Amino acid sequence: MLAVSISPLGLNLAPRATLGTSMPAFAADDPMFTLPPLPYAYDALEPHIDAATMKFHHDFHHQAYITNLNKAMAGKPKADLVSLMPGAKAAKLNNAGGGHYNHCMFWSTLGPKAGGEPSGALGDAMAKAFGSYDDFKAQFSAAAAGVFGSGWAWL
């Protein structure tokens, strides 16, 4: 059983020290943050996102953010990702830390048989704020296109 730290979003963003790894904590190559496993098969989102794209994006792109975050945190006390967020920009961790956080959220919010127009309170709030779901998608896509990271934006 793994001991994990849960962020407000329910994401597993704990430093490696709390993940029950067999690597000793004093090992020089013991990274603070590690790539979480993809919560579904690489091909689970086909035909929308193919397995090769998912594998590359998860195993290499997301891993690059983690590698850079671990380099930036080398020699610093262990921390969980959420605790780094308030001072991330000043500490120059916002790109690597934000990339890791965004990708964790990305993997956990995508899934087979997921998505579509929201209903209930969220759907009502979006209709009130944006006019319609289609209007929201257009405004959100336009906002995301102008952000570093090729389209990351949060509602």
How far, in Å, CA of 41 to CA of 153, rounded?
25
Q: Is 58 annotated as a binding residue?
A: no
One domain, residues 78 and 64: yes
Instruction: Give the global pTM.
Output: 0.68
The CATH number of whichever domain residue 105 belongs to comes to 1.10.287.990
pLDDT at 23: 29
Q: Which of 3-12, 74-83, 134-143 has the least mean pLDDT?
A: 3-12
- pLDDT band at 102, cuts 50/70/90? confident
How far, in Å, CA of 97 to CA of 33, rounded?
10
One domain, residues 56 and 87: yes
One domain, residues 135 and 104: no
Give how many domains the chain has, as a whole number. Answer: 2
Q: What percent of the chain has pLDDT over 70?
A: 77
pLDDT at 152: 67
One domain, residues 15 and 87: yes
Helices (H), the chain: 51-56, 63-73, 81-84, 94-109, 120-130, 133-145
Q: What is the mean pLDDT of the chain?
A: 79
One domain, residues 106 and 123: no
Q: Which domain holds residue 42?
A: 1-115
DSSP 17: G
What distances in angstroms separate CA 109 from CA 45, 64, 70, 116, one per listed residue? Answer: 12, 21, 24, 12
The answer to whether the CB of 144 falls within 8 A of the CB of 151 is yes
Q: Whose structure tokens read 């120059």?
A: 92
Q: Is 100 annotated as a binding residue?
A: no
Residue 2 domain-assigned?
yes
